[in-house]
Structure 1
């Protein structure tokens, strides 16, 4: 492969990663809207039923789960849009070149965290282990003392592993978003989506 072809090839796979990140971002925005609507509806029904002295107890738990999923989805969106919280005490006093390097370093650290978080989810949820037991939750729990697949929520009685699926999902989306951000910071891929704090405040 010639040197002239190598940069285009490198940018090609980088653009695929940023494109995947954008597709995930659009899905996350749509899901966030759904969860916000569901959460508001649950809270409204909860207020009305409690005022009427006929409370529906499972609504409290459903609201908590909706808020948890919304929080993780929102955190993933904020990471890609670069509107998450940041301490700029050091970067405010650095030249632009070093600010870019510091941003890339911070993004790389976030990517490392996301990968570590995914590994933790894999060890905790142990999909290979539960599959090796023929998806027998009781047998798996008896041997490994991992009761994730036998526990259920208190009022809704949903399997807790379904509720906890947001954790590995968040880890995967965070990896993709951090990888896309890092490729943009390093100049390997063109910047597709970036919202500064000033822009966000102006839109508000």
Structure 2
């Protein structure tokens, strides 16, 4: 039985980009998790020495959020997310391929909608038009580029940048998933 998970990857640049991107995302997520461990250990040692690192918890949380988003995007590229397969396992191959295609299209729709939300929230055209983050905040009450973190002293935009990366990666992986599912469906048609 052919499904998007077992179908040969369609040749072409999209599948290659998705595979390469998933590898980069997985490696970056691993580095972020190593950062969480290192920061947490340093914070614990410093706290036990009587000189706590007030920024350690916030940095560890930020690294964990980045690891979660990057790891989730990598799993989309590798079709590695948990799935309930009770229905697909009992369908004939052609119906299973059609269900896989519909599922891939729904995922693509989700990432397209998320891309619209992220585009609107980050409002790059508005930032360029306003000329500065301060002017954007005054014009639209969008403080995304100005709001500081509690203890790190960074602007939160540096932490939120994971959302456009996740969305872009998700779009690439979803498009590749649609191509794989469509190829599997065509084989069975």
The 4+ residue runs of structure 1 with deviation greater than 3 A are none
The one of 106, 111, 116 equivalent to 2:113 is 116
Cα distance in structure 2, aligned partners of 1:69 and 1:22: 20
Shift of 1:14: 6.2
The one of 130, 135, 147 equivalent to 1:139 is 135
The one of 85, 98, 101 equivalent to 1:101 is 98
What secondary structure sits across from 1:116 in the alignment? helix
Q: What is the match of residue 75 of structure 1? A: 72
Q: Deviations over 1:76-123 (max 9, x none)?
A: 111111111222232232122211211111111001100110110000
Gap runs ≥5 in structure 2 = 1-9, 185-189
Q: What is the match of residue 41 of structure 2? A: 44
Cα distance in structure 2, aligned partners of 1:111 and 1:44: 39
What secondary structure sits across from 2:178 in the alignment? helix
What secondary structure sits across from 1:94 in the alignment? coil
Maintained 8 Å contact 1:42/1:59:
yes
TM-score by length of structure 2 reads 0.87
Maintained 8 Å contact 1:14/1:183:
no
Q: What is the match of residue 179 of structure 1? A: 175
Maintained 8 Å contact 1:29/1:77:
yes
Aligned residues: 175
Q: Deviations over 1:126-162 (max 9, x none)?
A: 000001111x122111111111111110101211112
Q: What is the match of residue 55 of structure 1? A: 52
Q: Deviations over 1:48-84 (max 9, x none)?
A: 1222232101010000000000000000111111111
